């Protein structure tokens, strides 16, 4: 990270509590308890429209077994949702609007991650949107390799004390490749290409159908040809700024994935039906979710499950990094409070969205009130964004695997479900194996 490029003179005052930060356009401040629940954020997904944000969050929640969706109180400017490790936020249209969202989200992230470079860099930023294709028909999905302005140069702010400020508009090549690979694994073609961000949907995208038009059909054709010959595959309105700012702050992984609504070589007007447009938009969304699931979880292979009328690949009961989980459980032993039994226990779990949660046992003078390590791990889970547990490891003070007690099996089942994997002295088992015929919410419903 390039923390020297962050406005630390301002941001550090929020961290030391000498000042409150008001994220005005999101209608929330650094004092609000709601933000505490976002500390485990792993990805920031931005999109132009508020309705899209609601849909994306709903869909991600379904993929994460109905994880709670948190809403920011104000939706006048931007719509914001948080569920299962992902902060979803709308940014409106165009770079002036989106730059407000990106700057305020960055301030929020700095606060949530206590200004820690490593934790901030683990957060993946992505814009998912729509665009005009350049030589690509409607319904293509483009992952941007670079964000340029309409003169094919990187993003710049025109006015500032020192004249023009220039920002590097390149998107990280490795992330592009990973998105293409995740798409290919799921049978989806994702096309890499440069993306031009126009400051005006009509004038800076060389349309002839605006209420103001400066271009001739020849100039329009010449501009689009120049774009195509320079590797530009789509046109939208935010990417150059997004890449520029994220590079400036030094993030190592971020991306932009856009569906095309039309081929600009053929037309200026978007003529597809609302149903067709919906299908086009969802294609980019599916590419994004497949990538998020593979990258945030690092668990393969996948199995296909149906969610919200769409088939989406979910991490299967494959191979979490058990050694990493065991080390995390051993690390958690340090937090054990076990003055009565002198039997420290540590537990660690991966959530389905790839977070690591941990806990240790906390005893009490009234022995029966003792909290097992699994209890504090689940408390960690709930206080860092909730979601579902995918794999759990419990250890004793020698780092040897332990099985959870009866009560904890019940707790784990509620937060991991019957497919959750658990390490036992006999190897990996599922919750269904170690807690057959469980008492669940179904029993409460059907009394």
In the bound state with ligand URA, the residue whose beta carbon lies nearer, of 131 and 175, is 131
Element (H, E) at 52: helix 50-63
Whichever of 261 and 288 has its CB closer to ligand URA, that residue is: 261
Task: List Cα–Cα distances, 312 to 56, 293, 388, 393, in angstroms.
Answer: 13, 10, 17, 28
> Minimum distance from CB of 261 to ligand URA (Å)?
5
CB atoms within 10 A of CB 33: 6
Q: Which one of the spans 65-73, 105-113, 126-134, 371-379 is the region binding ligand URA (CB under 6 A)? A: 126-134
- In this chain, which stretch among 35-43, 50-58, 124-132, 285-293 interacts with ligand URA, using CB under 6 A? 124-132
Residue closer to ligand URA by CB (options 239, 386) is 239
In angstroms, what is the minimal distance from the CB of 210 to ligand URA?
12
The residues in 224-263 that bind ligand URA, with binding defined as CB under 6 A, are 235-237, 261
201 contributes a contact to ligand URA by CB under 6 A: yes
- The interface with ligand URA within residues 258-277 (CB under 6 A) comprises 261, 264
Measured CA to CA, the distance from residue 95 to residue 236 in angstroms comes to 10
Question: Smallest gap, in angstroms, from Cβ of residue 170 to ligand URA?
Answer: 20
Number of residues that bind ligand URA (CB under 6 A): 10
Q: Which stretch binds ligand URA (CB under 6 A): 127-135, 179-187, 364-372, 382-390?
A: 127-135
Distances (CA, A) of 436 to 197, 221, 439: 56, 67, 9
Please give the Cα distance from 288 to 286 (Å, whole number). 5
User: By CB under 6 A, which span of 130-138, 241-249, 273-281, 373-381 interacts with ligand URA?
Assistant: 130-138
Residue closer to ligand URA by CB (options 30, 130) is 130
Concatenating the DSSP letter of every residue in 339-393 gives TTT----EEEEEETTS-EEEEE-B--SSGGGPBPHHHHHHHHHHHTT---EEEEE
Q: How far is the CB of 229 from ligand URA (least distance, A)?
A: 19
**Chain residues 370-399 in contact with ligand URA, contact rule CB under 6 A:** none
Q: Return phi, psi of residue 204, to 5°.
A: -85, 0
97 binds ligand URA (CB under 6 A): no
Residues 6+ apart with CB under 8 A from 17: none
Of 126 and 421, nearer to ligand URA (C-beta) is 126
Closer residue to ligand URA in complex, CB, 198/386: 198
Nearest to 70 by CA among 52, 91, 55, 88: 88
Name beta bridge partners: 192: 143
Closest residue to ligand URA in the complex (CB): 132
Query: d(Cα 52, Cα 58) in Å, to the nearest integer?
Result: 10
Q: How far apart are CA 425 and CA 412, in angstroms?
A: 18
Q: Are 236 and 121 in contact (CB under 8 A)?
A: no
Catalytic residue among 276, 298, 374, 442: 374
The least CB distance from residue 180 to ligand URA, in Å, is 22
Q: Is 205 in the site for ligand URA (CB under 6 A)?
A: yes
Q: Residue written as tokens 């459980």? A: 329
71 is annotated as an active-site residue: no
Residue closer to ligand URA, measured from CB, 136 or 235: 235
- Where on the chain is the footprint of ligand URA (CB under 6 A)? 130-132, 201, 205, 235-237, 261, 264
Residues annotated as catalytic are 374
């Amino acid at each position: 990270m390039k923390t020297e490029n962050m406005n630390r003179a301002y941001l550090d005052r929020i961290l030391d509590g000498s000042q409150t930060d008001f994220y005005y356009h999101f209608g929330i401040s650094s004092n609000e308890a709601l933000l505490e629940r976002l500390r485990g954020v792993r990805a920031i997904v931005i999109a132009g429209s508020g309705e899209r944000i609601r849909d994306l969050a709903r869909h991600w929640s379904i993929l994460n077994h109905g994880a709670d969706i948190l809403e920011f109180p104000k939706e006048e400017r931007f719509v914001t949702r948080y569920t299962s490790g992902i902060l979803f936020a709308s940014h409106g249209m165009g770079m002036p609007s989106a730059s407000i969202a990106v700057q305020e989200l960055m301030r929020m992230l700095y606060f949530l991650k206590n200004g820690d470079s490593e934790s901030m860099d683990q957060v993946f930023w992505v814009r998912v949107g729509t665009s005009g294709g350049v030589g690509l028909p409607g319904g293509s999905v483009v992952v941007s390799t670079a964000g340029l302005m309409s003169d094919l140069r990187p993003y710049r702010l025109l006015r500032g004390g020192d004249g023009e400020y220039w920002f590097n508009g390149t998107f990280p090549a490795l992330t592009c490749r990973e998105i293409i690979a995740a798409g290919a694994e799921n049978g989806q073609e994702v096309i890499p290409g440069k993306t031009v961000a126009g400051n005006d949907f009509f004038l800076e995208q060389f349309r002839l159908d605006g209420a103001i038009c400066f271009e001739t059909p020849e100039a329009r054709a010449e501009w689009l040809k120049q774009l195509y010959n320079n590797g530009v595959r789509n046109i939208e309105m935010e990417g150059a700024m997004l890449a520029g700012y994220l590079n400036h702050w030094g993030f190592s992984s971020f991306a932009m994935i856009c569906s095309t609504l039309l081929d600009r070589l053929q037309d200026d007007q978007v003529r597809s039906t609302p149903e067709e447009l919906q299908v086009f938009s969802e294609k980019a969304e599916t590419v994004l979710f497949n990538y998020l699931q593979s990258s945030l979880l690092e668990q393969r292979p996948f199995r296909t499950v149906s969610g919200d009328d769409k088939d989406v690949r979910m991490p299967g009961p494959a191979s979490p990094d058990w050694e990493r989980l065991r080390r995390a459980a051993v690390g958690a032993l340090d937090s054990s409070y076990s003055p009565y039994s002198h039997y420290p226990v540590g537990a660690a779990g991966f959530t389905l969205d790839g977070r690591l949660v941990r806990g240790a046992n906390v005893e009490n003078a009234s022995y029966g009130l003792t909290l097992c390590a699994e209890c504090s791990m689940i408390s960690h889970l709930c206080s860092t964004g909730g979601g579902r547990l995918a794999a759990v490891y419990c250890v004793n003070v020698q780092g040897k695997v332990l099985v959870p007690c009866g009560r904890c099996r019940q707790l784990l089942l509620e937060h991991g479900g019957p497919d959750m994997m658990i390490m036992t002295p006999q190897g990996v088992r599922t919750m269904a194996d170690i807690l057959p015929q469980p008492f669940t919410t179904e029993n409460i419903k059907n009394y």
